[in-house]
Amino acid sequence: MNQVMETILHRRSIRRFETRQIDEETLEQILQAGLYAPSAGGRQGVIFAVSQDRPVNERLGKIKRANSHPRMANADRYVSREQPSIADDPKITDAFYGAPTVVTLFAPKNFLFSAEDCAAAAENMMLEADALGVGSCYIGQGWTAFADPYGQEVLRGWGIPGSCYAVAQLLLGYPREGDPHPAAKPRREGRVLRF
């Protein structure tokens, strides 16, 4: 099996992070993977806002949590039993799970494929992160983190153009030591149709 496929099979969402920050060289490699993701028409419209400011990340994560209304998990429906999400555990108040680095992916509001471009960039970064021993977690509906006056102030401070919106956040950090790597769920049958 080649190294790319090994990384694909190994990568899992991580929601429990060490407090130490990922080193700059590793972060640059992860961001480069995002910059080289495919984009519709080669437009390269995704903006990567990297925040390693713990108080800012915590506050935005709490705003996002307050503005997220996921259906709570039950015995048959859940996101992760190993590393619960905000949909699984109502006691989790930070939608960024204490990640030391939060990358918000912004894209043009008026472009048909903005969300897809951000998803492709995030996937590239998640795979590179895993290959480098960094945990990651993709968090959709990025705009909810900025849905109050503080969030709007952060956007102005970051210089995000009003023509763009926050599609998603990508959480990055070293997996918490001692936590087992989440196991792969069995693949559901019947998802590949051949004609």
Categorize the per-residue pLDDT at 130 as very low, low, confident or very high, splitting at 50, 70 and 90: very high
Q: Dmax of the chain from CA atoms?
A: 53
Among 185, 40, 175, which Cα is nearest to 118's?
40
Residue 68, pLDDT score: 84
Contact 50, 121 (CB under 8 A): no
Task: Determine the pLDDT at residue 88.
Answer: 83
Q: What percent of the chain stands above pLDDT 90?
A: 82
Percent of the chain with pLDDT over 70: 98
Q: What pTM was computed for the model? A: 0.94
What single string gives the DSSP state of each residue in 1-48?
Answer: --HHHHHHHH--B---B-SSPPPHHHHHHHHHHHHTS--GGG----EE
Going by C-alpha positions, the residue among 113, 176, 174, 114 that lies closest to residue 142 is 114
The label of the residue with tokens 């590179």 reads: 128
Give the list of residues 6+ apart from residue 176 with CB closer than 8 angstroms, or none: 16, 17, 18
The CA distance from 58 to 39, in Å, is 30
* pLDDT band at residue 78 under the 50/70/90 scheme: confident
